[in-house]
Amino acid sequence: MRDTLAAAGASITLARKSSDKVRELLAIGVDPIEHKRSERAAAQAKVTASKSATKSERLTLCRCARTYHEQTVEPRRTTKHAAQWLSSLEQGIPPAIWHKPISDVTPHELLEALAALQLRVPETASRVRQRLDAVFADAIFHGYCSTNPAAIIKRKLAERPSGREKGHFAAMPYIEVSAFIAALRRQPGVAAKALEFTLLCAARTGELIECRWDEIDTQSGVWRIPGTRMKGGAEHVVYLSPRALEIIETQREQQGEPFVFPSSRNRSKPMSNMAMLAVLDRMGLGAVTTVHGLCRATFSTWANETGAARPDVIEACLAHREADAVRRAYNRSSFAAERRKLLADWADYCNGVAAPAAARQAATVHLMAVAA
């Protein structure tokens, strides 16, 4: 029973309308029950589509990139590299694309954005495309999008014009290294020792400043750098020359602290990544060379031009990743003996010990070229 006559009348009216609708459906050969089910299914599909659209709007390229960064990049890279990884995307991708649903990003618009970046800073454009490739591949795996525009545009981007040629870090001519080392040893402070050690090891700044005592094995004369601090993500072994081991011995007083070359202000923290550059500036060489150029490019030039070792051995000392995937998969040799000898010869050269005939000849040619 209804509480009021009006409510009862409304109920009867609704029943008559429903009855009329059933008759109409039967008149045209439609099963009313199946029709009802179909309407319910359509309504449910509409709700599902609406939820999917809302979720898609939330799953922007920005959000997917940051999630991938948090879950995959940060745990495997150094703090500095992880920060650079995300910053390159935030600064290199236009906001209109960065905040767009990842499933809606098209190859064409991404190509135009990266082509413009390539005209300004080609190295950054290449890194951004590679990092986006990983983000889109991860999004496809999780069902957030169906295509990878960063992979699609790889060849097209290579066909587009590029800006300035890939820059090189300013490096010191290797014939000047022994005189530089002599002057460096007169410099006070831990940073000066760290710079010589980095040069002798052909290491990167980031690898050196966080060097810990448990990575150094003086008995076997090696420094094992964990993959988390390496650019390529794999452990790298540096074979320490006698002079490099001498520098380690001078730091023994710091052995109670975690870092071999600690900060002068707080010995429980690593040395600043600008400390070694400050040494070069103090010596009046800041405009002549960089730490990276001095410690790696100078070594590489010396080793290659003098024929001090085979190219594979030189690249292994520099911890360079083999470009050829097949060669990388099968070439597992560490060249331990050759790498140890090469770094020992490099230390002798830095100390001013007479170089091999090939090295002397290369140095003579270099001096003649400079004089000309």
* Sites in the chain below the pLDDT cut of 70: 1-16, 20, 22, 25, 32, 47-57, 163-169, 254-255, 321-334, 354-372
The predicted pLDDT at position 131 comes to 94
The predicted pLDDT at position 300 comes to 92
The predicted pLDDT at position 141 comes to 95
Give me the DSSP letters along 38-74. Answer: HHHHHHHHHHHHHHHHHHHHHSBHHHHHHHHIIIIIH
Calculate what percentage of the chain has a pLDDT beyond 90.
51
The predicted pLDDT at position 168 comes to 56
The predicted pLDDT at position 29 comes to 77
Whole-structure pTM value? 0.55
- Round to whole Å and give the CA distance between 319 and 142: 34
CB 299 within 8 A of CB 181: no
In order of start, what are the domains of the chain with their CATH numbers?
21-58 (no CATH), 61-159 (1.10.150.130), 174-371 (1.10.443.10)
The predicted pLDDT at position 255 comes to 66
The predicted pLDDT at position 96 comes to 93
Kindly report, residue by residue over 122-147, the tens digit of the pLDDT: 888 888 999 999 999 999 999 999 99
Nearest to 201 by CA among 113, 110, 294: 294
The predicted pLDDT at position 120 comes to 81
Bridge partners of 217?
A: 222
CB 144 within 8 A of CB 59: yes
User: Treating both helix axes as pointing N-terminal to C-terminal, what angle do 357-371 and 298-305 enclose, rounded to 10 degrees?
Assistant: 110
Give how far the C-alpha of residue 180 lies from the chain's centroid of Cα atoms, to the nearest Å. 32
The predicted pLDDT at position 370 comes to 40
Tracing tokens 């052995």 back to the chain, one arrives at 255
